[in-house]
Amino acid sequence: MVRLQRVTSDNNNRAASAGQAPALSRLLEQTADAVQAVRGGRSLTDVLAACPGPLRPGTQALSFLVLRRLGAAQALRAMLAPRTPPPAVEALLLSALALLWPDEAPPYADHTLVDQAVTAVRRRAPQSGSFVNAVLRRFLRERDALVAAALKQPVARWNHPAWWIDRLKADWPGHWQGLLAAAQERPPMTLRVNVRQATGAEYLVKLQAAGLAGELIEAQAIVLEAPVPVERLPGFADGVVSVQDAAAQRAGNLLVGAGLPPGARVLDACAAPGGKTAHLLELADLDVLALDADPQRLARVDDTLARLRLKGRTRAGDGRRPADWWDGQPFDAILLDAPCSASGIVRRHPDIRWLRREDDIAALAKIQAELLDALWPVLKPGGWLLYATCSVFKAEGEHQIDAFLQRRGTSVAHLDDRSPGHLLPLPDNGSTGAPSPGSGVDAASHVVSDGFYYALLRKKPAAGAD
């Protein structure tokens, strides 16, 4: 993490405008606001979008770290201050405790963090300055004992809600600890090279010329040695490359690899923000309709296609109600990247674990089932439907598809042997199904991709037809 130089509050605005790093106290205030908002049910992405520009990078870095340690921080706060402080004070206290948690490379010296946390709280709740100072200094004095006590609590040990831990234990009894540990890691930045403009090997040379190091893990997939702003990627503005995790890149490879003819009609249901839509169009000449229920998110699909110089159609509509948007012509293939818990990408979005509620999983599974049942009739006989979720929960993957096949019957729907099943974010990629040629992380690579589920379904042709 970048160390941030300290400046006085009076000079903070001038320092930011002059290009100097913001004061840590200001970043702690913004981080506390973000933590309080997430605990209140708001997305961290939305909160950061409203954060003042000069403070946003530092706030994001601190917020990610705090949210990855929030379970431990909550346990410590309860031990150190049994009476819950006002929300704004508690959020700042939680942030400071998370940042003071034992770390081989702490982001700040202990005394600096305590001093700046007290400065921050005195600006917002002057009467709480002494309280915060006393709690943090006591933690430093008794840190070893308090940390040991906190680690006896599963939520503090794993920094996930208890229900999440229990679900992983039930779904993956041999992997649950690895999954929880993986969620605490920083994810790699993976690129998808636009095959219409360059090969992966060619783009790797361009990266090296720009002073960026990366590893080619597949024909068109590159993992950077360190994340960078997209503006630093050669040709990004011209559509040469996109940012997309290796596991997400499987969608296009699986569907196009099923054998779609040129000009095939393809529906990308729940398409926003458009990464998989674009990948389909990069791989083959297809007639793609990108559908999404949210018109504002759908605009991002248009922006993505424009940057990549690709042509596809977009339409706002709910996949569960084809009568509102379908023209009556069946599709050769459907990509259903269904709404889900996003439990497979929690390392990229550490707020998800604290935003989700246990009953969300059943509600999401119901929506997924409704989408499958509504979209299956608009697929032509002999066509392909690829069901995908960025989830490691079986209710949104294996169990969902098992139930769908039981409803439809094996005489109508067939699960293709190329279906990867659950891809777990673990070093061996944890595929529970068959490997899919030309997709996924190279077995020799050290790269850990996101958690996903994929099921490639074929709608069997009518009797006597191919």
Beta bridge partners of 241: 193
Q: Where are the alpha helices (DSSP H) in 151-294?
A: 154-158, 162-171, 176-182, 200-209, 246-257, 275-283
Strand blocks (E) in 177-305: 190-193, 214-216, 221-224, 241-243, 265-269, 287-292
Q: Count Cα neighbours of 58 within 13 Å in the Cβ-side half-sphere.
A: 24
| Angstrom distance (rounded) from CA 93 to CA 87 | 10
390 in active site = yes
Q: Which position has the token pair 């993992």?
A: 223
Helix, strand or coil for residue 198? Answer: coil
The catalytically annotated residue of 51, 270, 340, 390 is: 390
Residue 291 has phi, psi (to 5 degrees) of: -115, 140
Please give the single-letter amino acid code of residue 37: A
What's 85's DSSP letter? P
| Angstrom distance (rounded) from CA 282 to CA 305 | 10
Please give the single-letter amino acid code of residue 9: S
Q: How many CB atoms lie within 10 A of CB 79?
A: 17
- For 52-55, the CB contacts below 8 A with 24+ separation are 54/16, 54/17, 54/22, 55/16, 55/22, 55/26, 55/27, 55/30
What's 23's DSSP letter? P
Instruction: Provide the residue count of the chain.
Output: 466
Q: Does residue 210 contact residue 198 with C-beta atoms inside 8 Å?
A: no
Instruction: Using CB atoms within 10 Å of the CB of residue 202, give its burial: 0 to 12 exposed, 13 to 18 middle, 19+ buried.
Output: exposed
Query: Catalytic residues, which ones?
Result: 390
